[in-house]
Structure 1
């Protein structure tokens, strides 16, 4: 076992029910950043809402390898009203989720599953809307999703983002009742992608109103009030000191150059510039301490920073949109660091390496990868004899290397109690120094550059110089 965190730390129940309707929620996710935002949303509902209270139990997908955690998960699902899952792409664990939830699917008031393996997506149930025939159905939505997936290496999540934008055209092919439930599913996805405690609070209230309490005969619970989702840009530029996200690189650079807190050196367009690639979910959930630390460290070293993000899993789009000067189309950055932990195009289940390679070749800048701990807490990783979790090695080191990524370094740990990222300052400094050196090396005159070549030779004195099994060493 690589993680020994008990799911009980995420269990929240109202201290005083006060005659309110109790709704039980169970969630299982890959991304720990949702833990803190969901917990905050539930605490606000339990403290302030006059009619409903929520008891919530949460699991990170890797924790289901523990027999004890899996048994607790099964017990929680047995009595749940609402089931939520997201990014369940690890095959053996996806099967465990299906085995635990499928027997209770018909009893659940609502089950909402966001991009995951097809067998997990089939658990979706929102009134008359279902994905039980996903991969087989000839419905308008199923055909739309299949076509979009075939065209997009970023996979299911980007296809759903496109569906959000074209939903009115799709819904006209559905009966009224199914159209309403399909609309509620896509509305749920907007809440989820929004990720803030406020969005998740309204997400839970919407599910309660539409599917848990709709048949309730309690007058106070006839209708719950909730706000529409706050929608964030699909992609853009973020900075921890800016009150807004930028969707135009000119606007960002104008703001950056007008900052009063930076030196004249950082305002100089010729200063080294580092591009950062970020996950939007960390920004909207407020789990951004490691991003803030990286920006601060790079600026303290004298580098300008352009931190870009995407809402889906195709990070080549913000790279193409924001790392070039809009008029001359020349690159603005001297080096790039991806902090997402994913391939440049695609998530855990599917990648489009040719598209990523094309974008990176066109940019022609050093491309580093730094990764947050996902499946282990900081303490578990530090105490482990094997180090990084093998699945994370595959997903977030080996796969990004197929894009051309270099120097994979862990930049942040994870708090076992809150799920939030913890910046590891010594590693933040190491990554920033490496990026700064790559940026300076690019600008260095070729006559001043020195090249060192390390040649494999083992065993020594056996004529093995420059040889290595299955490796193209030259």
Structure 2
């Protein structure tokens, strides 16, 4: 059962404008953790930017089942400059999004859709960049996009991450204008994956500068200043008190043993050790209070904690990488039990799961595996 929430609670209107250019943004996402980060980003822009202000309306995809919310969504889209969507993989709701946005796509200054069903991905529009253009190209990026129909939600997002890493090689096959717009799309994805309010603020400023502000003020030398995205590890070990995310479990354990706020009993390698599996998006967006509470409670009970995360939906990767270590041909577990806090299967997302791969990973580890009952949009 999805709890009914009025989308108007996420609506932010700047006041006063004081002569600034007003930009209207509408977003629809699967993951509720982006709401607070986007709201913080918009409030910062409205407080600090001298030339631009943003009015934003946000929706969780399941909220579009409510007729009143859906009418509000269509009304907001009709007035928007920019449309943003992410992880729209539910067939009937994807159709609702397309039906609402498609009639206004040509008028929108920008439409940015991150991993979603192909019909929703085709709404993408950044200057000359679109999914249709890429599909007609002979470039490496076109081959990638043509394969997207065969991908589940998790593998498609993993493929997008790989494409980010190889982007410079891909863009050389494209005409200059299309290459720049394709680069801006992938840059947008980096901002989005970064997830912090600072990254999302610069994401919105980049879109305003490249696709709204300059077009409407062609004779003005004024431009919107924005910073490059801050990139966080796609996979690693996190702790609420650590100065950084760790990509090496030995470095994490060295930091853990150097802590002054825990007893020597917890630092003992023989102390009970619990592995936690977390969603990266909750960490980078700052929506991590439930993770912090779990770590604190386990440590208060005398357990060491190794909280790991992944950017895609294949959580077997951090389980394999961080919960055990190899001694010759022998795999020695570092944890006594594993608890998943993700709300997903170990491998896969809402669209599809890979149970055999998950089973193989847990067999190798050979430790008890438990799944919490998260108070979010789904349970495992």
After TM superposition, is the score higher than 0.5? Answer: yes
After superposition, the CA RMSD in angstroms is 1.9
> 1:354 — aligned with what?
356
The answer (yes or no) to whether the contact 2:131–2:145 under 8 Å persists in 1 is: no
1:156 paired with 2:156, answer yes
What's the secondary structure of 2:188's corresponding residue?
helix
The answer (yes or no) to whether the contact 2:116–2:153 under 8 Å persists in 1 is: no
> 1:261 — aligned with what?
261
Moved more, 213-222 or 154-163: 213-222
> 1:101 — aligned with what?
101
1:247 paired with 2:247, answer yes
CA distance in 2, matches of 1:133, 1:345: 32
> 2:26 — aligned with what?
26
1:212-239 CA-partner distances (Å, limit 9, x unpaired): 1222236667421100000001111000
What's the secondary structure of 2:370's corresponding residue?
strand
The within-5 A match list for 1:78-157 is: 78-132=78-132, 139-146=139-146, 154-157=154-157
> Offset at 1:150?
5.8
> 2:225 — aligned with what?
225
CA distance in 2, matches of 1:68, 1:150: 35
Higher alpha-carbon Rg: 1
Please list every run of 5 or more consecutive structure 2 residues that lacks an aligned counterpart in the other structure.
none
CA distance in 2, matches of 1:223, 1:181: 18
1:65-95 CA-partner distances (Å, limit 9, x unpaired): 1110000000000010000000111111111
Compute the TM-score of the two structures, normalised by the length of structure 1: 0.76
What's the secondary structure of 1:236's corresponding residue?
strand
CA distance in 2, matches of 1:150, 1:4: 33
> 1:460 — aligned with what?
none
> Offset at 1:303?
1.0
> 1:273 — aligned with what?
273
> 2:285 — aligned with what?
285
> Offset at 1:352?
2.1
1:73-124 CA-partner distances (Å, limit 9, x unpaired): 0000001000000011111111100000000001100000001111111111
> Offset at 1:314?
1.6
What's the secondary structure of 1:129's corresponding residue?
coil
CA distance in 2, matches of 1:88, 1:239: 30
Please list every run of 5 or more consecutive structure 1 residues that lacks an aligned counterpart in the other structure.
376-391, 398-474
> 2:320 — aligned with what?
320
CA distance in 2, matches of 1:172, 1:221: 30
CA distance in 2, matches of 1:280, 1:110: 27
What's the secondary structure of 1:372's corresponding residue?
coil
> 2:50 — aligned with what?
50
The answer (yes or no) to whether the contact 2:134–2:145 under 8 Å persists in 1 is: no
Cα distance 1:138–1:356, how it changes in 2: closer, same or farther (>3 A)? Answer: farther
CA distance in 2, matches of 1:314, 1:339: 14
> Offset at 1:144?
2.3
Cα distance 1:35–1:46, how it changes in 2: closer, same or farther (>3 A)? Answer: same
> Offset at 1:357?
1.5
> 2:370 — aligned with what?
368
Compute the TM-score of the two structures, normalised by the length of structure 2: 0.95
> Offset at 1:15?
1.1
> 1:181 — aligned with what?
181
Cα distance 1:91–1:133, how it changes in 2: closer, same or farther (>3 A)? Answer: farther
CA distance in 1, matches of 2:146, 2:277: 28
